[in-house]
Structure 1
Amino acid sequence: MRWSRCSLHTRSAACEHGRSERTRPLREAGSATLELVLSIPVLIFMLAFLSYSGRMSGARLQIEDAAHQAARAATVSRSTSSAAANARSTAEAALSEAGVTCRPVTVATRGTLQPGSTMSVTVSCTVYLHDLALLRVPGTTTLTARFASPVDLHRSITNTVGR
């Protein structure tokens, strides 16, 4: 039996010449559905990989920004102990404001606060990836960023509060 979509109201070149508009044989019916069913797992895997890549690059940028802010906060401090405390609190605040959830956050400071010297801050953050188990990535990964900030040449070393 030959299938035809030609009717009395159809005016196409195929119908006028007595040919059917159907171009694919019946044995190929349903092949598009099969192709879709087979390609869905690949598409889901690609979507998960894009999610992983986006999350890692975004977290890396946020951690670098937190290291930059922490180094700047450390250089405006008056002592090395307050510089370490300011760097840690600034890095934690920057990460929580950016929405990066990482435990633990490690902040290390290095350098002196003498005018013209450099204070560097290293921020390490363990990012959880348990929700991306489909990709078989490790459950956590540690990202580290380091930033160095110069201490202002024209700052005073003594405390000038109240003047």
Structure 2
Amino acid sequence: MAAEVTLVTPFLIMLLVFVAVVIHRGVDARLRVNDAAHQAARAASIERTSPRAVAAAQSTAASALASAGVTCQSLAVDTATGGMTPGGTVTVTISCTVDFGDALILGVPGQKRLSATASEPIDTWRSVTVNTTGSST
């Protein structure tokens, strides 16, 4: 009995370590996607127009995930600007398919779709540009 326990114990420990690594990678990727959504929403809320806000959210999300080491097989960034009105909100939803292919030794699925949503307020006292006719835009 002692011989079997001695032989099986290292394999059980290795299995637990592999499971812990896979769980850690999943939690870490989810946290980084959440952080990227917050960064993208903040970047979008600073912009003055909806098209620029959408572009800022897209580029900020991509660069935040890349710098965090998260490789998305497909990245979708949906930005709801609500017209960029002062006092409104900008909401950004990021969906990222993360590859866990190198963890397949444990039978973990090769990829998982993670998503996160973040909202940021638009400054109530933001300045409004005035065109040449004198009306605000």
Relative to the length of structure 2, the TM-score reads 0.88
Structure number with bigger Rg: 1
Rounded Cα–Cα distance in structure 1 between residues aligned with 2:114 and 2:15: 24
Q: Which has the higher contact order (CA 8 A, sep 6+)?
A: 2
Structure 1 stretches of 5 or more lacking a match?
A: 1-27
Structure holding more helix per residue:
2
Alignment of 1:132-151 (within 5 A): 132-151=103-122
- In structure 2, the partner of 1:157 is 128
Name the aligned partner's letter for residue 37 of structure 1: L
2: distance between equivalents of 1:36 and 1:100?
39
Q: How many residue pairs end up in the alignment?
A: 129
The 2-side partners of 1:36 and 1:158 are apart by 76
Aligned-pair Cα RMSD in Å: 1.5
The 4+ residue runs of structure 1 with deviation greater than 3 A are: none
Displacement after TM superposition at 1:35 (Å): 1.9
Confirm whether residue 127 of structure 1 aligns to residue 98 of structure 2: yes
For 1:63, the equivalent position in structure 2 comes to 33
Q: Deviations over 1:89-108 (max 9, x none)?
A: 00111111111111211110
Letter in 2 for 1:124: S
Residue matched to 2:71: 101
Gaps of 5+ in 2: 131-137
Q: 2:13 aligns with which of 43, 49, 59?
A: 43
Q: Which residue of 1 aligns with 2:56?
A: 86
2:46 maps to 1:76: yes
Provide, for residues 81-123 of structure 1, a one-character-per-residue CA deviation record: whole Å limited to 9, x for no partner: 1111100100111111111111211110013210000110001
After superposition, the C-alpha distances for 1:106-160 in whole angstroms (9 at most, x for unaligned) are 110013210000110001111101111122121100100000000000102328x
SS of residue paired to 1:95: helix
Q: What is the deviation of 1:40?
A: 2.4
Distance 1:103 1:85 in 2: 20
TM-score (normalizing by structure 1): 0.74
Q: 1:8-47 maps to which residues of 2 (within 5 A)?
A: 31-32=2-3, 34-47=4-17
State the alpha-carbon separation in 1 of the partners of residues 6 and 60 from structure 2: 50
Among all aligned residue pairs of Structure 1 and Structure 2, give the percentage whose two residues are the same amino acid.
40
